[in-house]
Structure 1
Amino acid sequence: MSDTASPIETAPPRNLRQRAADVIAECRLLAAMSEEPGRLTRRFLTPPVKEVHAHLRRRMIVLGMTVWVDAVGNLRGLWNPEGSTGKRLVLGSHIDTVPDAGAFDGVLGVVLALELVRSAAELSIPYPIEVIAFSEEEGVRFGVPFLGSRAVAGRFDPALLALQDTEGVTLEKSIRDFGLDPRDMDAAKLDENTFGFFEIHIEQGPVLEAEILQLAAVTAIAGQSRFHVTFSGQANHAGTTPMRLRHDALTAAAEWILAVESEVRRYAARHEAELVATAGKIEAKPNASNVIPGLVKVTLDVRSDRDFVRQIVVEELLAQGEAIASRRGVRFVAEQKMDQPAVSMDEELTALLAEALGGAGFPVRRMPSGAGHDAMVMATRVPSTMLFLRTPGAISHHPDESVMETDVEAALRVSEVFLKRLTFKSL
């Protein structure tokens, strides 16, 4: 277990720029707590999670917070100022990672949350602040994301305890091996006096950088439709089968994939909507250079912050798949794997966050998130909002993931203004 002192914990009084530099150093320090030497991989309730907990626990204690770990492994700390109103704000993000990850996805939001507790004490914020380091957002170990936030939002299905990882370890056993009791899951639910949830996260995309902006208030988290699509034709000899007599599954799939791109661009322009679609994985059989492909499997991922647009375009894309297959003498089958509605951030909290952007002297940019975050689960239980930071090079889920010191400083400045503006909401 690491006994390395926190750069923030040991720092003298600092200006915002120095505080931002210390936040970045803290994230890089935590990135060394990994399952694999030389690269960051930290899955749900693996030993490095205990290291991160120990490190963050020390920080919470120094800040005067009450600290505990709930039944799904979320590390939680409560700062309760003298004479508080009782209604609390929750800050946080996740500490698990994808394999070979970057240092800032999720963890930045946790480290910034603790820094904001320090700010709250300096600013005499009157309401309690709870910080949650969610144990599982990515879904890498057990194939199901948001286990930590599901428990906090009261949406944890006990059937999930039977899930197994690649080594055959059940979710229930992993919780018990971590020293926790899954029978205490109900106690993980959010305190009834919580008035809001605020998550700070890197954008993980190119929009802010392309617009030369540092920050944005998140308006919604996009809904997702995912399908496994199959084109079934007839495998045959590549040299002896005339072009007019072929039932080529791959050429049908190729035509459809191009149609996906063109249709989505057209619908996005027509509805002025944030809409994207991806055919991200393709498998052709028999996958031989001298055989006409007889079977092709393709994945389809459609996302939008407006559900009716997403549903319209999905229907059109599936209809086009049927038409293309029929014309080419092949069969088209689509199996739906996900239908996740868009989740809107709370209008009042997001308006206050936008006001904080302007009040701190930054352009007021609002944007949806194309990726899922813990805030989308928390929003089902409590008013929630998010602040995005620019992602240099749009690189995330990769060791080259980074943040700019000036952007972290900007996030601190805006978040402090936001905390002040929330005072009346806590009354």
Structure 2
Amino acid sequence: MTTAREVLDRCVELDRFTADPPRLERVYLSREHASANAVTGRWMEQAGLRTWQDAAGNQCGRREGREPGLPALLVGSHLDTVPDAGSYDGMLGVVMAIAVAERLRDRELPFALEVIGFSDEEGTRFGKALLGSQAFAGVWEEDWWDLRDRDGMTLHQAFLDFGLDPRRVGETARAPGDLVGYLEAHIEQGPYLEAADRSLGYVTTIAGARRFRLSFVGEARHAGGTPYHRRRDALVGASEAIVLIERRARDSDCIATVGRIEVQPGAINVIPGRADISLDLRAATDAERDEMWASLLGEIETACAVRGLRLEVRETHHAPAMPCAPWLQEAVMAGIRSTGDDDPMGLWSRAGHDAMAVGLTTDVGMLFVRCHDGISHHPEEDVRELDVAAGLDALERAVLEVAATIGAAR
């Protein structure tokens, strides 16, 4: 039986497949992606799964249920990383899923059990997140083929170089009838479990996110010769908006982040004539998020009018919130209770996950594992062996709870 220590060792083994050693970076359709898939596939085979790489580059494994051809319970996460990543975001969930499949290899289930290592949750290479899981959910868009990486290579060409046929990407899609549900174990990527001294939590919903590019357009003029009452300083207007965004978010249940500022012309002695900022807006529900955006937009427009600035808004990303199915929340809670935690802690996920895309085709549930100080997307990302051990027991029990529910319904 695969232990928590072996799970952690396997995560470290995956660190070998990096494009930028000693920093961890493993992106979609790279040599490192192929190597990680190969090793993960071997672990799946050792757990008794039949393995394959699908038409979008996701690594898959399957064991039939009590009879061939039954719909599958899917368990997994992703194998790709951000630049300068930690060892556990995504990978821990894949390796835990394989370990649970190994634990249950002799258990007859009323469904097939599938494990998946999604190929591109982060969107690091082509700037489009969830490519692997969106292909799985059947929502691939033709204009994505023209996406380019930092070297100018298109997604279409990267498919060909990886040995995949772009014409066959639609074969990745799974129909709702193919699946009974999806379970994903993942590090929390936040401090709430640690603050509550809990090893595990269940996810209630995954944040709905919207991203914008806000452009503040004023007038570039000489910094020394232009009096203040004549200035239309775009950067000052953007700065006011940034402070407003943080203040409003702090007073709400929403999360709003400005992560990028670009200023033109960018000279020391020139009043900025244009400032562009990014805005990442998230909330547990789409209604909360959209209400916050409408309020922010109104206040920012008013502030721009006072300063004589023109505001241009472009939405660059829109993802609806994905609630976890109540029956799968119950299964995950039962798994947590089996570890001795009688009052499981529910959390809404501030971060996005492959479950957001998979939820377009089947019910989803998520198990969070405590991570040190909530650190993620950073080399100091860390988890404790005792928490992983509890997570393995809880995930195994959750699968059996799903089996009991499905068995009772048939």
TM-score (norm 1): 0.89
**Counterpart mapping for 1:159-308 below 5 A:** 159-190=143-174, 192-266=177-251, 268=252, 274-308=253-287
Q: Secondary structure at the match of 1:292?
A: coil
Whether the 8 Å contact between 2:138 and 2:170 is mirrored in structure 1 is: yes
Aligned to 2:352: 372
- Quick one: structure 1 residues 245 and 177, their matched pair in 2 at CA, closer, same or farther if it must change by over 3 Å? closer
Is 1:328 aligned with 2:313? no
CA RMSD of aligned residues (A): 2.1
Shift of 1:402: 1.4
Aligned to 1:271: none
Whether the 8 Å contact between 1:224 and 1:341 is mirrored in structure 2 is: yes
Whether the 8 Å contact between 2:203 and 2:349 is mirrored in structure 1 is: yes
Structure 2 CA distance for aligned equivalents of residues 294 and 186 of structure 1: 46
Name the stretch that deviates more: 76-85 or 64-73.
Answer: 76-85
Aligned to 2:399: 419
Shift of 1:410: 1.3
Whether the 8 Å contact between 1:218 and 1:385 is mirrored in structure 2 is: yes
Structure 2 CA distance for aligned equivalents of residues 52 and 303 of structure 1: 31
* Aligned positions, number: 405
Aligned to 1:74: 58
Query: Which string of whole-angstrom CA distances, capped at 9 and with x for unpartnered residues, describes residues 341-367 of structure 1?
Result: 211111211122123222432241111
Aligned to 1:57: 41
Shift of 1:125: 4.3
Is 1:21 aligned with 2:21? no
Structure 1 CA distance for aligned equivalents of residues 216 and 240 of structure 2: 11
- Quick one: structure 1 residues 414 and 328, their matched pair in 2 at CA, closer, same or farther if it must change by over 3 Å? same
Aligned to 1:358: 337
Aligned to 1:36: 20
Query: Which string of whole-angstrom CA distances, capped at 9 and with x for unpartnered residues, describes residues 155-184 of structure 1?
Result: 122443343333343323322332332333
Query: Which string of whole-angstrom CA distances, capped at 9 and with x for unpartnered residues, describes residues 166-218 of structure 1?
Result: 33433233223323323333332226331010111112222222332222111
- Quick one: structure 1 residues 166 and 412, their matched pair in 2 at CA, closer, same or farther if it must change by over 3 Å? same
Whether the 8 Å contact between 2:66 and 2:111 is mirrored in structure 1 is: no
1:337 aligned partner, one-letter code? T
**Quick one: which of 86, 89, 100 aligns to 2:70?**
86
- Quick one: structure 1 residues 158 and 253, their matched pair in 2 at CA, closer, same or farther if it must change by over 3 Å? closer
Structure 2 CA distance for aligned equivalents of residues 163 and 245 of structure 1: 43
Aligned to 2:141: 157
Whether the 8 Å contact between 1:227 and 1:299 is mirrored in structure 2 is: yes
1:419 aligned partner, one-letter code? V
Shift of 1:59: 1.7
Aligned to 1:338: 317
Aligned to 2:363: 383
Q: Secondary structure at the match of 2:41?
A: helix
Whether the 8 Å contact between 1:85 and 1:426 is mirrored in structure 2 is: no
**Structure 2: stretches of 5+ with no match in the other structure:** none
Query: Which string of whole-angstrom CA distances, capped at 9 and with x for unpartnered residues, describes residues 77-102 of structure 1?
Result: 10225557923210111111112211
Whether the 8 Å contact between 2:48 and 2:105 is mirrored in structure 1 is: no
Name the stretch that deviates more: 72-81 or 185-194.
Answer: 185-194
2:136 aligned partner, one-letter code? V
Shift of 1:285: 2.7
Structure 1 CA distance for aligned equivalents of residues 369 and 358 of structure 2: 20
Query: Which string of whole-angstrom CA distances, capped at 9 and with x for unpartnered residues, describes residues 242-293 of structure 1?
Result: 3333222222222222111222233x2xxxxx41111221122333333332
Shift of 1:113: 0.5
Shift of 1:331: 2.2
Is 1:141 aligned with 2:125? yes
Q: Secondary structure at the match of 1:78?
A: strand
1:368 aligned partner, one-letter code? W
Aligned to 1:110: 94
Structure 2 CA distance for aligned equivalents of residues 58 and 403 of structure 1: 24
Whether the 8 Å contact between 2:220 and 2:270 is mirrored in structure 1 is: yes
Whether the 8 Å contact between 1:94 and 1:106 is mirrored in structure 2 is: yes
Query: Which string of whole-angstrom CA distances, capped at 9 and with x for unpartnered residues, describes residues 352-389 of structure 1?
Result: 21232224322411111111111000000011111111
Structure 1 CA distance for aligned equivalents of residues 265 and 142 of structure 2: 42
Structure 2 CA distance for aligned equivalents of residues 125 and 374 of structure 1: 25
Structure 2 CA distance for aligned equivalents of residues 165 and 257 of structure 1: 29
Structure 2 CA distance for aligned equivalents of residues 334 and 418 of structure 1: 44
2:215 aligned partner, one-letter code? T
- Quick one: structure 1 residues 163 and 260, their matched pair in 2 at CA, closer, same or farther if it must change by over 3 Å? closer
Shift of 1:32: 0.8
Structure 2 CA distance for aligned equivalents of residues 88 and 413 of structure 1: 20
Whether the 8 Å contact between 1:225 and 1:339 is mirrored in structure 2 is: yes
Is 1:119 aligned with 2:141? no
Query: Which string of whole-angstrom CA distances, capped at 9 and with x for unpartnered residues, describes residues 41-69 of structure 1?
Result: 11112112222222122222222211111
Structure 2 CA distance for aligned equivalents of residues 78 and 393 of structure 1: 35
- Quick one: structure 1 residues 282 and 177, their matched pair in 2 at CA, closer, same or farther if it must change by over 3 Å? closer
Structure 1 CA distance for aligned equivalents of residues 45 and 219 of structure 2: 66
TM-score (norm 2): 0.92
Q: Secondary structure at the match of 1:201?
A: strand
